[in-house]
A = this chain, B = another copy of it.
Amino acid sequence: MTETRVADRQRIRDLILGYCRGVDRLDLDLVRAAYHPGGVDHHTGFDGPVEEYVPWLGRVLPRLDGTMHLVANHLVEFNGPRAVSETYGLAVHWGSPADDPALNFTSGFRYVDRLECRDGRWGIVERHAIREFTHSDAQRRVPAPAVGGSRNPGDPVFVQLARLRAGSAGW
């Protein structure tokens, strides 16, 4: 493994984590940025190109109060400007009412992605999103936390990134 491939690994991992941040914060531009144009997604409940997948997400995600896509294992194999990446993760979903198992569940997923580097940018050309198991959280919900995240620019991560980019002395 060369040092360059360490950097490529990091870029591909960042792309996948950016996708998750986009879904969880409902920032659809971040979701779209993970794919090359025409990239295909095979998902539970959806099958088609990113140009249709992102609007579909925009319709179904607001039915939930929130999601958290926790990314664990990440293995990548390269062949020149092509790569196959396998990502393991947990997708936690919550909604109202809290005892509805269709809105409150955790699934174990694997993303098997075909990726290409075009003009120096890695992107997904095809994703298989495999669901390994689904567990209901309906009987497990504990009342709302003291400090929760949000799906708008007021979330702490966006506030702090804006301060970082501004480079203000008093950041």
Contacts and interface: CB of A to CB of B under 8 A. Distances in A.
Interface in A119-171: 128-137, 139-143, 145-149, 156-157, 160-161, 163-165, 167, 171
Copies of this subunit: 3
A167 B68 contact: no
Interface of A: 1, 3, 6-7, 9-11, 14, 17-18, 20-21, 42, 44-45, 66, 68-75, 77, 79-80, 82-84, 86, 88-90, 92, 94, 101, 105, 107-108, 110, 112, 114, 128-137, 139-143, 145-149, 156-157, 160-161, 163-165, 167, 171
B17 A74 contact: yes
A135 B142 contact: yes
A38 B75 CA distance: 26
Nearest to A101: B142
A108 B68 contact: yes
